[in-house]
Amino acid sequence: MVTVVHGEQELFQRVGHMFTTVTDLACAANDLATWVTDHRSDEHTAAVARRCGDMRVRKIYRSGVLLDSVSARELADRRDRFGAQIRITTDELNETIIMDGRLVILAGNLNAGQRSYSVITQPETVEGVMSLFETAWRSATDLAVYDARVSEIRQLAPAVLDLLSRGVKDETAARTLDLGVRTYRRRVAELMSALGAESRFQAGVRARELGLV
């Protein structure tokens, strides 16, 4: 009912084959660097692509991933190639995969460079995780809508994050970017929102986690 495996390789060996037969796939992730993308083979990707018209794929990603232009393009590509429905949230997510409402994979903590995963088939637990996913799905924003919302701040994000990391005062930072102080502060607030951060310090931490700085 609940099996704990250690490391992505062991997990992929146990359940990787199921991605070629699943008909309803639901995922939640903070970024694109998941065990699925790290370990899928060309053969596996081709098999999923052939079946994309026969399966429903729903994915929720953390909003900070759209601040990186490469990641934003990758998300759009996944949506277009596989017909995936993708939504964005500012809430913190735990990497979760749900297959056909019968099996759940939950990512655990990283320990000594290796992450553990819980593979769950217990019906009551699967139903509970599904309920949490559906709640998050309903409150999340469609990828195209959110992408348009952050397109401008995405262009400014590297410069703003650099200025914040160096502790540059708002007035000086605004002049550097040829912006008014109010506009600069609004852009900082938008950046913090996209990163799901409540402070400028936290924004810097999360930006580093995403590889933006």
pLDDT, one tens digit per residue, over 89-114 is: 988 888 999 999 999 999 988 777 78
**Closest alpha carbon to 134 in 186, 164, 96, 166:** 96
pLDDT for residue 51:
55
Q: Is residue 145 part of a domain?
A: no
Q: Is residue 188 part of a domain?
A: yes
What does DSSP say about strands 2-6 and 85-89: parallel, antiparallel, or unpaired?
unpaired
**Which residue has better confidence, 21 or 125?**
125
Per-residue model confidence as pLDDT tens digits over 50-75: 555 678 999 999 888 888 888 888 88
Q: How many domains does the chain have?
A: 2
Q: Is residue 144 part of a domain?
A: no
pLDDT for residue 41:
46
pLDDT for residue 158:
86
Q: Is residue 7 part of a domain?
A: yes
